[in-house]
């Protein structure tokens, strides 16, 4: 469907429409509380002559090492061989989305409908976990917290 929409506006790829505010327009929803925000100042067309709109040569959103990166490193045998593992870490409220990167590696290695048993990889955390603990957790990953967790627990 995305390809069809892009073709209908004469674009070949998503890259062709990056920065193209001229392709956007504000729509009315017919409700005062939805239509009271004027987005038109954001939809101005900028002269792009000679400027790079999207530079693929630069790394995108480099993520610093996180607790999840440490978990992925420590779970290498699990990710390579499917070996059942239990890992333990201290967690702080600045550690956000713990389990998300680990889950991404699980899905890449074993697939979303993986054959891992529940609790195949158990991560035990002690302390105060940050936001979105276990968000998007993959099957086979169990996260236990001795302590507390912020606003959302997946």
Strand pairing category for 85-91 and 141-149: unpaired
The first and second tokens of residue 93, run together, are 């409220």
What are 121-135's pLDDT values in tens digits? 999 999 999 999 999
Average pLDDT rounded to a whole number, residues 34-62: 77
The one-character DSSP state at 153 is B
Average pLDDT rounded to a whole number, residues 61-65: 73
* Between residues 35 and 130, the one the model is more confident about: 130
Q: What is the pTM of this model?
A: 0.61
Domain boundaries, the chain: 2-43, 67-149
- In the chain, count of helices (H) and strands (E)? 5, 3
User: Residue 127's pLDDT is what?
Assistant: 96
Give the CA count within 13 Å in the CB-facing half-sphere of 9. 15
Average pLDDT rounded to a whole number, residues 23-39: 84
User: Residue 3's pLDDT is what?
Assistant: 92
């Amino acid at each position: 469907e995305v390809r069809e929409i892009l073709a209908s506006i004469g674009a070949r790829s998503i890259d062709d429409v990056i920065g193209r505010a001229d392709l956007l327009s504000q729509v009315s929803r017919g409700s005062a509380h939805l239509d009271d925000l004027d987005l038109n100042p954001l939809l101005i067309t900028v002269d792009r002559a000679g400027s790079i709109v999207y530079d693929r040569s630069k790394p995108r959103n480099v993520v610093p090492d996180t607790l999840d990166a440490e978990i992925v490193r420590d779970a290498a045998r699990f990710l390579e061989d499917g070996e059942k593992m239990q890992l333990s870490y201290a967690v702080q409220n600045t550690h956000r989305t713990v389990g998300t990167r680990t889950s991404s590696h699980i899905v890449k290695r074993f697939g979303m409908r993986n054959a891992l048993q529940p609790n195949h990889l158990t991560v035990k955390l002690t302390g105060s976990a940050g936001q979105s603990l276990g968000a998007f957790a993959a099957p086979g990953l169990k996260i236990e917290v001795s302590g507390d967790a912020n606003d959302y627990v997946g």
